[in-house]
Each structure stands twice: as C-alpha cells, then as structure tokens.
C-alpha cells in the first residue's frame, strides 16, 4: 500500500478513504462521547480542548484582540459587581470569536444554537 502524500509525483487515482481497509489507514478515531447542547454553555476546559488559546502578557495577564471582523472583546462578559472577568470569561470570549468566524451563514454566537460536542480518541 502506498500513499499519494508519500510519492506526489506518481500517477495516482484518488479513491475515497471511506472504502479504505482499516489495516491500511494511518489514524483510527473512536467516538468516546457525544452530547447536544447550546453553544454558550461551553466551559473553559472545553474551549481549551477545542484549541482555543488566550494570549497573555509577560506579567501573566490575559489579552483580548480589539480589532478585526470578530474581535474577542465584543464577546466579553464582565461581572457587574466586581467589574472583573474570570479566566473562563476570556476563554469563552475567544471561543465565541472563533465560532462566529467559522459558523455557517445565519448562525451566530448570539443565537445560542444547539451544537454537537463530540469527543474522539485518536490512535495511530
């Protein structure tokens, strides 16, 4: 078995990976959990697992981007009593920004639509 990525110069006929025998596949995905929930219920841990990174200063303070099409600062929710935001608030703001940037047309963070949360285990 050979892969086109291993020899891009060869004469290859593309075939769907759906029909590939398991013994020849490079990765094996196992769904370990699936859940349907509203997008705004995401936790800091789930945002981290989704690849969200909050930039920090040298002093360790979190930063928010203020410009661009979907800046995270537009999604920031601050505690009205203390006027401060938690670490989870920063992750939620960055996730919301990424969600709106990638969501299908007509779907936004503000809609709080239902989404599928799927956890997978990858074996190589």
Q: What is the pLDDT of residue 36?
A: 94
pTM above 0.75, yes or no: no
- Which pLDDT belongs to residue 76? 87
**Whole-number pLDDT of residue 1:** 58
Task: Report the phi/psi class of residue 89: left, alpha or beta, with left for phi > 0 and alpha for psi in -120 to 50.
Answer: alpha
Residue 30, pLDDT score: 92
Give the residue ranges of the chain where pLDDT is below 50.
none
What is d(CA 67, CA 113) in angstroms, rounded to the nearest whole number? 25
Which residues is 56 bridged to in the sheet? Answer: 62
For residue 98, the model assigns a pLDDT of 92
Please state whether beta strands 114-123 and 28-38 pair in parallel, antiparallel, or not at all (unpaired). antiparallel
């Amino acid at each position: 078995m050979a892969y086109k990525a291993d020899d891009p110069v060869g004469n290859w006929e593309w075939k769907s990976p759906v029909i590939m025998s398991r013994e020849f596949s490079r990765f094996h995905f196992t769904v370990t959990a699936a859940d349907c929930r509203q997008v705004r219920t995401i936790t800091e841990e789930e945002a981290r697992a989704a690849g969200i990174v909050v930039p920090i200063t040298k002093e360790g303070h979190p930063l928010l981007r203020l410009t661009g099409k979907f800046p995270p600062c537009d999604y920031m929710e601050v505690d009205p009593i203390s006027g401060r935001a938690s670490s989870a608030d920063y992750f939620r703001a960055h996730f919301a920004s990424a969600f709106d940037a990638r969501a299908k047309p007509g779907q936004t963070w503000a809609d709080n639509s239902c989404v599928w949360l799927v956890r997978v285990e990858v074996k190589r």
